[in-house]
Amino acid sequence: MVSELQTLQNNIEKEARSMSDSESARLDEIDSRLDAISSEVSKLEKLQSRAAEAANLSGGASYSEEKERAKMGEQFSFKRAVQMAATGRKDGVEAEFSKIAADEFQRSGVSVAAHSVLIPSEVFKRDMTATGGTGGDQGGVNIQTNVGGIIDVLLPKTVLRGLGVQQLNGLVGNLDMPTASTQPAAGWNTENGTASEKSPAFSKITFSPKRLAAFIQVSNQLMLQSSNSIDQYVRNFLITAMAQEMEKAAIKGGGTNEPTGIIANSSVNVAYAGGAANNTVNANGAAAVWADVVNLMKAVENANGEGVAYLTNPLVKAALQTTPRQASGVEGNFIMPSGANELNGYSAAFTTNVPSNLSKGSASDLSAMIFGDFSKMALASWGGMELTVDPYSGATAGLTNIVLNSYLDCNLLQPSAFAVIKDIDA
């Protein structure tokens, strides 16, 4: 259109004439189209402005900012962050991320130490492998000319996210979720009888930040000389420790300062090992039987829930694979077929984070098994993570103490959607 306008202007000036009717009509068409384009551009600019304002108000980042942060996240170094905290130096990617995380914590209403290095959540979105120590776990093995990768420690599986647990991230202050605690009800009456009032009752579930901390001591010499990736080692050690502890609390919980997990929740449905009708039978627990699997499902469905998966530990898994469904059953008719990833037609998950040290009577090595709808559980977080470095307490031994703090909680949104057995002798 621009070239067409230029040609039209040149022709008129060259021929020293007025515009023809067709040229005038075409000019009107082009002018109208340019007005429309100008209007669209104006709307787009307004939309971008509003989106930027919304991002600022919510603390969110634009797509371009997110890409830039992701790129910066690849450059983030725990080692430099630790050195920055120890020396008080404030520069580089680590300093930029500390400012971003400070805004996250401020919005969330969580107080952090003024001297800490703060780390936003995107730093922890990188795929990583958890690592552990080997024979030189004090760091000496790493200070060599040629050093291979640190050998991973064997860790429990973290399975809750794969079972559909909800994630509530970036919370601000406490979160109350009202929940109806009575079912709708109606009553039969005569033609002119007075209807009885059936008022619903409500309660609430409260999420509040609980501090989860991981701690590691690192040799100052190792920080300076390590040819291995001590940055990755420290990062993985701390993050893995926190992820494992959060999953343990979500499954069991209920300890001092812990969230209340499934097993410790007093409102979940309970069944008993060995097909027992109540807790007084089998005083010291019992081996798992097929009826236990069915009874867990029955308890959830009888409470109007709809379970989607079983969850237990490898000890119970092994017992289910060697126990027939019925005593007189044919050989191989086990409760759980070998190699199967399901149980009773539902998905099944196994992790040593499900406890095997529960007590009943004189037994203290009993296991749990859970059935339920894991989307009725929520894990909550406030802001990113707080890295606190203490180069002084272990200074005489040449050690730096590193503490990673996060603020988390978990709750069952519908406890009746879960059933648990706590007394399996496996």
CB-based contact 420:265 (threshold 8 Å): no
Please indicate, yes or no, whether residues 50 and 78 belong to a single structural domain of this protein. no
The reply to whether 7 falls in a domain is yes
Please indicate, yes or no, whether residues 52 and 151 belong to a single structural domain of this protein. no
The reply to whether 277 falls in a domain is yes
Please indicate, yes or no, whether residues 78 and 117 belong to a single structural domain of this protein. yes
The pLDDT of residue 58? 44
Q: Is 218 exposed, middle or buried (0-12, 13-18, 19+ CB in 10 A)?
A: buried
The pLDDT of residue 146? 47
The reply to whether 191 falls in a domain is no
The pLDDT of residue 48? 53
* 97-111 pLDDT, tens digit each: 888 888 877 777 777
Please indicate, yes or no, whether residues 130 and 223 belong to a single structural domain of this protein. yes
Domain count, the chain: 2
Across the range 333-362, mean pLDDT stands at 93
Cα dist from 205 to 110, 410, 412, whole Å: 20, 10, 8
Q: How many residues does the chain have?
A: 426
Choose one of 40, 57, 74: the last residue of a domain: 57
pLDDT above 60: residue 79 = yes
The reply to whether 273 falls in a domain is yes
Please indicate, yes or no, whether residues 340 and 258 belong to a single structural domain of this protein. yes
Backbone φ, ψ for residue 28 (5° rounding) = -60, -40
Please indicate, yes or no, whether residues 67 and 31 belong to a single structural domain of this protein. no
Backbone φ, ψ for residue 14 (5° rounding) = -65, -40
Please indicate, yes or no, whether residues 234 and 153 belong to a single structural domain of this protein. yes
The reply to whether 194 falls in a domain is no
The reply to whether 187 falls in a domain is no
Choose one of 57, 79, 104: the last residue of a domain: 57
Choose one of 57, 89, 104: the last residue of a domain: 57
* Helix and strand element counts for the chain (H, E): 9, 15
User: What angle, rounded to 10 degrees, do the helices at 92-108 and 63-75 form?
Assistant: 130
pTM of the model: 0.69
d(CA 387, CA 238): 10
* 171-217 pLDDT, tens digit each: 988 999 988 777 777 778 888 888 777 777 778 899 999 999 988 88
The amino acid at 159: V
Domain assignment of residue 20, given as a range:
2-57
The reply to whether 189 falls in a domain is no
Please indicate, yes or no, whether residues 24 and 131 belong to a single structural domain of this protein. no
Please indicate, yes or no, whether residues 104 and 237 belong to a single structural domain of this protein. yes
Q: What is the CATH number of the domain that holds 384?
A: 3.30.2400.10
Please indicate, yes or no, whether residues 21 and 165 belong to a single structural domain of this protein. no
Please indicate, yes or no, whether residues 13 and 93 belong to a single structural domain of this protein. no
The reply to whether 190 falls in a domain is no
Cα dist from 324 to 310, 330, 333, 366, whole Å: 18, 8, 5, 20
Backbone φ, ψ for residue 142 (5° rounding) = -85, -15
Please indicate, yes or no, whether residues 39 and 66 belong to a single structural domain of this protein. no
Q: What is the DSSP string of 336-380?
A: S-TT-SEETTEEEEE-TTS-S-EEETTEEEEEEEEEE-GGGEEEE
Backbone φ, ψ for residue 21 (5° rounding) = -60, -40
* 352-390 pLDDT, tens digit each: 999 999 999 999 999 999 999 999 999 999 988 888 888
* 236-248 pLDDT, tens digit each: 888 888 889 999 9
CA angle 87, 104, 95 (to 5 degrees): 25
Cα dist from 208 to 45, 139, 256, 409, whole Å: 40, 38, 15, 6
Helix, strand, coil shares, percent, the chain, to 5 = 40, 20, 40
**Which residue has better confidence, 385 or 3?**
385
